[in-house]
Each structure stands twice: as C-alpha cells, then as structure tokens.
A = this chain, B = another copy of it.
Amino acid sequence: MRKKIFRTNDPHIQALARIVGEEAILFKKEDLIAYDCDGFTVHRHLPKAVVFPKNTEEVAAVVKYCHEHDLPFLARGAGTGLSGGAIPLNGEVVISLVRMKRLISVDLENRRAVVEPGFVNLKLTNSIANRGYYYAPDPSSQYCCTIGGNVAENAGGAHCLKYGVTTNHILGLEVVLPNGEVIEIGENGILDPLGYDLLGLLTGSEGTLGIVTKITVRILKNPEAKQTVLAYFDRVADASQAVSDIISAGMVPAALEMMDQTAIEAVEAAAFPVGHPNDIEALLLIEVDGISAGIDEQIEEILHICRKRNVREVKVAQNEQERAKWWANRKTGFGAMGAISPDYLVQDGVIPRSKLPEVLQQIEQISKKYGLRIANIFHAGDGNLHPLVLFNSEKPGETEKALAAGSECLQACAAVGGSITGEHGVGVEKKEEMRFIFTDDEITAQTNIRDVFNPKNLLNAGKLFPTPGRCVEVKKA
C-alpha cells in the first residue's frame, strides 16, 4: 500500500484506522472505485472504506466495531466472484483479506493444509506439487482467486465431476461471527460432522454468516497417470449422447467439458488457440486420471464411444505440453468472449444430464428471441451449463435484454428440475431467481438461519435471498 498522509474527520474511519493501522485503510473516493464491484460488473456501489487486516484479531476487532456501531460490512477476497457477492450495495466497510495470505502448515501424512483466506488457490498446488500433492478445486480463475473466496462461494471447477466442489475439500474453518466472536468449526476431516454440519452450512454461504479467517483443506496425492481426449462433433446431440454413454459405462472422468460452436469461435480468437475446426457444433474435452493401471483401457473405451456417436475427429493428447495447451484454451473460456463481443454475461445453470439436448435447444430459442448470441461452455458431466450471453452495453437497452435472456436460461434449467447456480453463487445477480426454485416458506427457513448468525443483518446484506415483498401484489384501494 502506498504511504500517504492520513487525514479524515470521520470518527469511524479514525477508529478503524486505529485497529488496522493508517496504512491499511482506504477511504478516499479515488481509492474506493476499484472496490465498487467484483467480477459481476452490472451493479456497482462505492464502499465506505476498505480495511486490510493482517490477522484474525484485527478482523474480529473491525467486525466488533462495525457491529457495535451499526456499520454494514462485508469480506472480499480477490474480487473474482461472478455473482456480485462482494459488491458493497449498502456502502459497506469492505474487509479485504488479501494480506492474510499465508500457507500456515502442510501435513502430508494426514493430507491436509492450513491456509489463510487470502491465499491464492493455485499457489497451494504449486507449493506442494514437488512433493507429489495438489489441491483439487480448480475454478478457471484459480491463478488469482483466493481460497477464502472459494469457501464463500463453494467454488467448483473443471475437475469437480470426479473430485467434488470446494465443500468436499474443506476440513475445518476459523470464523469471525458477525458480532466479532471467533469460533472454530470442523473436526479435522471427520466424514460425519459432529453435531450440526456447520462446516457445510458456512461453506457456500456467500459471506452472509461469518468471515472465514483460517481454512483447513484436504490435499490429494497427484494421480499417477492422466490422459486427455479431445473430440469434435458435427452435431451437439451426438456430443451430449457421448457424455451420457461415458457416464453410463461406469466411468467417472476427472473432467468432461463441452463447448459449442460460438464458444469455440471465441476461444480460438483468444490467447490460446488450438486450431479447433470452426464448423463443428460441439467439442468434448475429456480427462481421465488415477493409477496407471487401466487408464489406457478407459481411453480406448472413450474413443470407442465417441466413434459410435459419429465423432468427426478424436485424439489423445500426446504429451503434457499438448494437454496443457488444450486446457489453457478451455480455461480462457469466459474471458475469451471479449474477443468476439464487447460484453458478455455468464450464466450458471444446472440440469439433470439427461435434459442436455432439450435445454440446449431452449437456449437456442432464447438466443433467437432476444437477438443475442449465446455461447455455451459447460461441465457436461455435471450438467452444469454456462450460457454466455453476448451483448453490447453501449447499445441502449441491450444490457437489460441480456439480463432478461440470462434469467430465461435459468428458468429453463429450473423448469426441468435443475438449479439456477452450479458454482458461481447467487449473490446480487440471481437473488430474485431464487423464487424459481424455492417457496416463501423455504426461503424463510433459510433467512431464519441467517438471522441467527447475523441478527442485525449488517454482514453482506441484500445478497443471496430475494428482496422481501418484491413480488407482493399491490392491494386495491
């Protein structure tokens, strides 16, 4: 942080500065602009201040101060979230956790590591790779997103088909409650949590129940072997059927990704082109890992299934370099949209796998209805779709159209028994769409839990749940 002269008459800013130090607080408008949104850029709001605590005690002291003085507050990691969970809608005091970025300990024998919330996801794998271990959850933003943020959003990634999402890898948490109390939850990776599953409750609670200040994660042994297949299909229906066939055959690939034609156009125009044909309807990127024995036979079976489903071309990565190239191409996915459209909106629906062809057709119709292109990149194995609505925010009304088209995509997912978010969270973005899934009673069951932890609703208010009464009918006079 830059050293500057500290001058303010605001007693709250002065008090917060006494807790974290004058060099660890921002409060001038020009400094605050970078914190007015996260990866969901449609809504923006300036925070009151941003503080950078360096340990749990400082977080707890800031929270306690806010609690006692009725100041709204929220926690922020790297700000890569895609649903607006870190936007200071109410002029919050933003508690940035980027200085709390230590790898506290690694216990290889019991397969666990302890990190601070600001520790970057990919750094964990990088720190233990030479000893043959890795951390499984791998969101596309893993090179910069923080594990604290991953816990808040229960982040997924390309490999969650086999390895599960963040909640499956969290063994323990230290949490600052909204009144400033500090508790520890989780008991070192016990399968059946003791008492209520607070660990599961906190993970994915989108920063509305507490602020995580220490995280014990599960680490995994590197798989002995890994093979990756790339398959090009003329028809999306064949690609979908191949996905079903692979799962039905009893295989659980580490990853099973699909991209449609528009998505392929974008990733080929972006930083890591592979040379995919531009006239296929879909490609599959399939990765199998595990012990060496049997990997080749699995790959043979996958190739066989792809051929049976009329694949145009299918190939196995010949070396780690080729494999890395394919993944780099896939992982630029969302950002790559910038190469073919000024703006894009990522959606994050989930459907039963068997509904893939049907929902993709509906998305096609939504695209036509709004006159906006929609690219599809998705974790096909999980039924987790990412429709990317392409638009131009400079054109009047197009942002609204894109938002409406995105919401209709989610409605289509909900209608077939799916969900409106697979891994990006609800945040600000999808809070009204919660009504596609939940009744009022079911939402109340959830907000009641929030109120237990967060009775003053000062912590990250206005997220995750629909605005009460917004759908209430106006009474006749």
- Distance in Å: Cβ of A224 to nearest Cβ of chain B: 6
A181 at the interface (CB under 8 A from B): yes
- Candidates B156, B187, B438, B441; contact of A191 at CB < 8 Å: B156
CA distance A224 to B423 in the complex (A): 31
Neighbouring B residues of A187 by C-beta, 8 Å: 350, 418-419, 437
Binds B, one of A27-35, A92-100, A263-271, A291-299: A291-299
- Candidates B194, B221, B222; contact of A420 at CB < 8 Å: B194
With CB as the reference atom, state the residue of chain B lying closest to A187.
B419
CA distance A395 to B209 in the complex (A): 51
- Distance in Å: Cβ of A75 to nearest Cβ of chain B: 17
A318 at the interface (CB under 8 A from B): no
Neighbouring B residues of A423 by C-beta, 8 Å: 191-192
With CB as the reference atom, state the residue of chain B lying closest to A132.
B250
A185 at the interface (CB under 8 A from B): yes
A169-206 to B contact mask, C-beta < 8 Å, 1/0: 00000000100010111011111111111101101110
Q: A185-B442, A354-B110 are in contact. Are A437 and B194 (CB under 8 A)?
A: yes
Neighbouring B residues of A291 by C-beta, 8 Å: 250-251, 294, 297-298
- Candidates B250, B426, B438, B443; contact of A223 at CB < 8 Å: B250
Binds B, one of A60-68, A399-407, A446-454: A446-454
Binds B, one of A43-51, A160-168, A334-342: A160-168
A21 at the interface (CB under 8 A from B): no
Neighbouring B residues of A146 by C-beta, 8 Å: none
Asked if B221 contacts A191 (CB within 8 A), the reply is no
Neighbouring B residues of A203 by C-beta, 8 Å: 197
Interface residues of A (CB under 8 A from B): 109-110, 154, 156, 160, 164-165, 167, 177, 181, 183-185, 187-198, 200-201, 203-205, 209, 221-224, 244, 248, 250-251, 290-298, 350, 352-354, 382, 384, 417-423, 425-426, 434, 437-439, 441-443, 445-446, 448-453, 464-465
